């Protein structure tokens, strides 16, 4: 099953009717997707998925959702996340990929107006 073939209603019914089968499908879908990534990203994504799975196993669904959401924001906005990377190439354009020596970063406000 490709990630574009996911049908929420079908998956919800499967999770309610047969949680074991749902979990197997969930894991297979994640593994299949990670296998499509470049080798250097696969290791990083497997580690991230392991951390997500630990949060899901050790917490209530709501608590796990909140922790995983926080993890997502940390990876996006934290110093080792995407925003941190963009700030690092702003201060040292030589860090950009593909030989890019100059880039312009456009900042968007985080709050709604």
pLDDT tier at 109 (50, 70, 90 boundaries)? confident
pLDDT digits (tens, 9 = 90+) for 60-69: 989 999 999 9
Q: What is the DSSP letter of 65?
A: H
Distances 63 to 47, 55, 74 between C-alpha atoms, Å: 20, 8, 16
DSSP reduced 3-state for 107: coil
Kindly report the pTM of this predicted structure. Answer: 0.60
Q: Which helix (H) or strand (E) holds 6?
A: none
Return d(Cα 7, Cα 18) in angstroms, integer. Answer: 16
pLDDT digits (tens, 9 = 90+) for 42-88: 998 899 899 999 999 888 989 999 999 988 888 788 777 777 777 77
Return d(Cα 106, Cα 39) in angstroms, integer. Answer: 30
């Amino acid at each position: 099953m490709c990630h574009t073939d996911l049908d929420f209603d079908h998956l919800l019914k499967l999770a309610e009717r047969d949680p074991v089968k749902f979990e197997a499908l969930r894991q297979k879908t994640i593994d299949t997707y990670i296998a499509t990534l470049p080798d250097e990203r696969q290791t990083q994504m497997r580690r991230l998925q392991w951390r997500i799975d630990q949060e899901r196993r050790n917490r209530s669904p709501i608590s796990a959702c909140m922790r995983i959401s926080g993890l997502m924001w940390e990876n996006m906005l934290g110093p080792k996340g995407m925003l941190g990377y963009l700030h690092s190439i702003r201060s040292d354009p030589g860090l950009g990929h593909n030989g890019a020596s100059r880039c312009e970063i456009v900042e968007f406000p985080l709050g709604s107006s």
